[in-house]
A and B are shown apart, each in its own frame.
Chain A
Amino acid sequence: MKALNQYIELYKEQKDVIENTSAPGLNAQRAFALEALAHKGLPVESDENYLHSNVEEWLAPNYGLNIQRLNLPLDTEEPFRCSVPNLSTQLYFLNGDSFMSAPQTNASLLPDGVIVKGLNTFACDYSEIFSRYYNKSSFTDGTSFLNTLLVQDGFVVYVPKNVVVEKPIQLIELMQSQFSMLACRRILLILEQGAALKLLLCDHSLRMQEYLSLQVVEAFVEDNASLELYDLEETHTGNSRISSLYVNVGNDSRFVCNNITLHNGRTRNSANVAVNGHGAEIVLNGIVIADKEQHVDNYTFIDHNSCNSTSRELFKYVLSGSSVGAFKGKVLVRGGAQGTDSQQTNRNLALTSSARMFAEPQLEIYADNVKCSHGATVGQLDQAALFYMRQRGISEQEAKMLLKEAFVGEVIDSIPLAPLRDRLNRLISLRFRGQLAQCKGCNICH
């Protein structure tokens, strides 16, 4: 309660400042969010969906918020670290929660009608579209209401009917202030009928400060549209991240999400997919690599509410040190959702005695003509494979590395963008060797 009260008080005290710096469209939703938040509260540990992440505790410290919208300086080297060789992207930033374009980005290269903007500007400039979509997902927990209550900026991509954005769009999310900060980020993705978009999200923290990012992504994938989302987290151990994704998919649409946690402090990702269109195809994949005291909790909820849709989930965890991994994947097939085909796989490597894994795949099925399955395993590296490699002169350490890379490789291989695949393979290989780009010159976590 204490954590919640401090935010409610903050909002009440700073209401004028927040509202004066934000678009009316954002402000219009705050009263409802406040009411819902007061009613629902923040998730507590006894909440069935939050058994392994005490987010109330994560939200308890007194973080700073950039309510005054101060212009925080941006580290200009950052774009280079995130650049994916051979993959030309349109690049944007969220510095804390403030939107900015990269100097080299040229909006005129986007196809006609596509709008990429900061949330606040978009809400002002395109208020009609904005109010049609913003905050229209059915939120399920208090953290999303808290985001709606405090949000001042974020990121929007709007792709009109039948427009295909060929070039991936990349959004780099940064935390770099000298103080411990909370960033309320809101991302709104609107794909009208037949539209297509690929979006890369790179989440970084540049300092060893205590940061908290409270992110809500709302995506609307209308009939025949296709959205591919690649969400890569590479933050410091002091970083906490609560990210909720809400996706509404229409008839014959396609939604692909790859969620990769390379390095972090504490992370809670939730993906809620409402399958309201028939014939929709959902793919949710994830990789988690955690060691030290890192904590990664992925929650997915696929709500099949229409006929003949398919969903595929593949989450792979590699845990070492004293890290904690949690996966809860719920698949709900409602009464009318005949012909649903759903498969969920969760495979985990627990490599040290102090690492801990919680796996909870769940199926809830109310229709009979369906094909649903899930599988979850927790185990170690295959001793026979290790022996085989050592026999051929590969050192034990190298052999383990290869096996781990191959283990997560299954997820990487499913990514259609070859340059991104290569980049991720490289990053993962570095990660297993403790040499992530951001770790160079930084001794804090090693």
Chain B
Amino acid sequence: MENEELRNFSENKYKYGFTTQVQTNIIERGLTEDTVRLISQKKGEPEWLLDLRLKAFRHWLTMPMPKWAHLNIPPIDFQSISYYADPTASKKNGPTSIDSIDPEVMKTFDKLGIPLEERLALSGGVAVDAVMDSVSVKTTFQQNLKEKGIIFSSIGEAVKNHPDLVKEYLGSVVNYRDNFYAALNTAVFSDGSFVYIPKGVRCPMELSTYFRINAAGTGQFERTLIVADDDSYVSYLEGCTAPQRDENQLHAAIVEIVVKDRAEVKYSTVQNWYPGDEQGRGGVYNFVTKRGLCAGEHSKLSWTQVETGSAITWKYPSCVLRGDYSQGEFYSVALTNNFQQADTGTKMIHIGKETKSTIISKGISAGHSQNSYRGLVRVGKNAYGARNYSQCDSLLLGSDCGAHTFPYMDIQNETAVVEHEATTSKISEDQLFYCNQRGISPEQAVGLIVNGYAKDVLNKLPMEFAVEAQRLLSVSLENSVG
């Protein structure tokens, strides 16, 4: 397999790198208590939430930046970031109907393939909460969902309309003391989505949030909270893109999920933040805390992620399996190319009896990138009959990249069965030869093999996402064949 061909394969043109010209209200750069108060004030928040933000901010000041990851993170100046950018500011009262959205913003989402007009969506399609910078632009199908009792809105709206629910669950899974970026997020978070599925309801459509960073010099700190009450089901999708810039932008989000008795939540992400150029200039720092609590018995939480973007990805979508017989799943494809870095994986914390977890992680490294899997499986003292299976495979394309595996197992119960397997290799010459022999070009062959390699994970994605993810994998690898 020739280096040149491998290299040619991964010439990536980032399709979503455009910038929208829209009047955006950006607050001054820097982070002080006043910034936190200003954000809270802009969002018209109640006292308790401001208190929480301030507590988190004060705690954040005491924390050092974590350095343990297998990542080379250039120093981040938290005072040079603007923590709030509102592209809907031109419409005074904020977007209430489709007509009040700035046409430029509408166009942006159309261009991204996210229709904000409900009539344009496919029948039985996807309800979308579209977030640009710090503000939710529009949440579609709210009315239809409301009829079933489902709440799907931006978190800012939810704070106003359902304060009790938000107060009960916000921070219940990811405490502001959890880590450096969780504290930062709790202090300055702006919009994200809030989902509540009432007892016994199966959400009739897929819910999705689309995150877009647009303004320069800003960071995005969204917050998503999903609560699935007893016997409910929801499939939730998350997508994200950002403009192509030479500066690095910070995205530090928190996603919290609470799954109650016999409920099931499926959370899928296709992460396509701007990854930086071929020389490693620019790109988004994606430092996210995602965690779900399987609080009820027989509850199930499934994370599926396809990570192709971001200059640096640092996240571990995790499951706390507290309810007896609860299940956690983690399926991940992480692809790094050029100078991208990723340190991603999961944590499965088994607390309840007969809890099960599955981890399938597929890493693909190309160019000069570094791709690490890091995962923890902890089986607590009372987690009788806990079962875990982990499989982490890494594929290396090219001799300048790195693939690393750091699993941690902490087993405190004698009835637990925990298995971990990991392999690292390059694409087999035999497979390539077989494809070439049958007239498939080396470039196509690599795409084919990579897609086959990632199939276990791609199969878990909802249909719309699976197609997108497959395409993304091929595009992100362009020019890396070699």
Contact = CB atoms under 8 A, between A and B. Distances in A.
Interface in A226-284: none
A360 B406 contact: yes
A61 interface: no
Interface stretch (A176-184, A290-298, A374-382): A374-382
Nearest to B391: A375
Interface string B409-434: 11111111111111111100000000
Contacts of B426: 368-370
Given A363-B404, A368-B401, A48 B409 contact: no
Interface stretch (A32-40, A349-357, A421-429, A433-441): A349-357
Contact of B424 (A372, A377, A379): A372
B422 A357 contact: no
Given A369-B426, A379-B416, A379-B417, A362 B405 contact: yes
B417 A378 contact: yes
A296 to B, nearest CB: 15
Given A378-B417, A380-B415, A380-B417, A373 B402 contact: no
Nearest to A325: B411
Contact of B404 (A338, A351, A362, A369): A362
B398 A365 contact: no
Contact of B397 (A353, A367, A368, A374): A368
B48 interface: no
Contacts of B423: 372-373
B424 A365 contact: yes
Given A360-B409, A380-B415, A353 B402 contact: no
A69 interface: no
A218 B68 CA distance: 30
B416 A378 contact: yes
A369 B406 CA distance: 20
B399 A368 contact: yes
Contacts of B400: 335
Contact of A376 (B381, B409, B416): B409
A353 B418 contact: no
A361 B402 contact: no
A120 B403 CA distance: 45
B394 interface: yes
A356 B407 contact: no
Given A352-B414, A362-B405, A368 B420 contact: no
Nearest to B378: A358
Given A365-B424, A372-B423, A372-B424, A359 B413 contact: no
B402 to A, nearest CB: 4
A356 B422 contact: no
Majority secondary structure of chain A interface residues (helix, strand, loop or mixed) = strand
A32 to B, nearest CB: 28
A396 to B, nearest CB: 16
A365 B404 contact: yes
B137 interface: no
B408 A360 contact: yes
A370 B416 CA distance: 33
A371 B425 contact: yes
Interface string B248-269: 0000000000000000000000
A366 B411 contact: no
Contacts of A370: 396, 424-426
A413 interface: no
Nearest to A362: B406
Interface in B61-98: 68, 70
B410 A363 contact: no
B412 A356 contact: yes
B420 A377 contact: yes
Nearest to A367: B399
Interface residues of B, number: 36
Contacts of A350: 411, 413-414, 416
Contact of A363 (B416, B418, B419, B424): B424
Nearest to A379: B417
Nearest to A355: B414
A368 B396 contact: yes
A365 B381 CA distance: 34
A218 B396 CA distance: 34
A398 interface: no
Contact of A378 (B70, B401, B418): B418
A352 B414 CA distance: 5
Q: Which of B379, B400, B425 has the most CB of A within 10 A?
A: B425
A359 B400 CA distance: 29
A359 B420 contact: yes
A368 B379 CA distance: 34
A355 B394 CA distance: 32
Contact of B405 (A348, A359, A363, A380): A363
A338 B422 contact: no
A338 B399 contact: yes
Nearest to A353: B414
A364 interface: yes
Interface in A363-420: 363-380
Nearest to B390: A376
A369 B412 CA distance: 38
A348 B421 CA distance: 14
Nearest to A327: B409
Interface in A322-339: 335, 338
Contacts of A380: 414-415, 417
Contacts of A378: 379, 409, 411, 416-418
Contact of B398 (A353, A355, A362, A368): A368
A45 to B, nearest CB: 14
Contact of A373 (B381, B401, B415, B421): B421
Contacts of B410: 356-358
Contacts of A360: 406-409
A351 B425 CA distance: 35
Interface in B380-401: 381, 394, 396-401
Contact of A353 (B381, B396, B403, B408): B381
Nearest to B405: A363
Please give me the 5 A-B residue pairs with the lowest Cβ-Cβ distance, nearest first. Answer: A368-B396, A359-B409, A373-B423, A363-B405, A372-B424
Interface of B: 68, 70, 379, 381, 394, 396-426
24 contacts: A335-B399, A338-B399, A353-B413, A355-B414, A358-B408, A359-B408, A359-B420, A361-B407, A361-B420, A362-B406, A363-B403, A365-B396, A366-B401, A368-B399, A372-B423, A372-B424, A374-B405, A375-B422, A377-B418, A377-B419, A378-B409, A379-B417, A379-B419, A380-B415
Given A353-B415, A380-B414, 15 more contacts: A48-B68, A353-B381, A353-B412, A356-B412, A358-B411, A360-B409, A363-B404, A365-B404, A370-B426, A372-B424, A373-B421, A374-B405, A374-B420, A376-B418, A380-B415
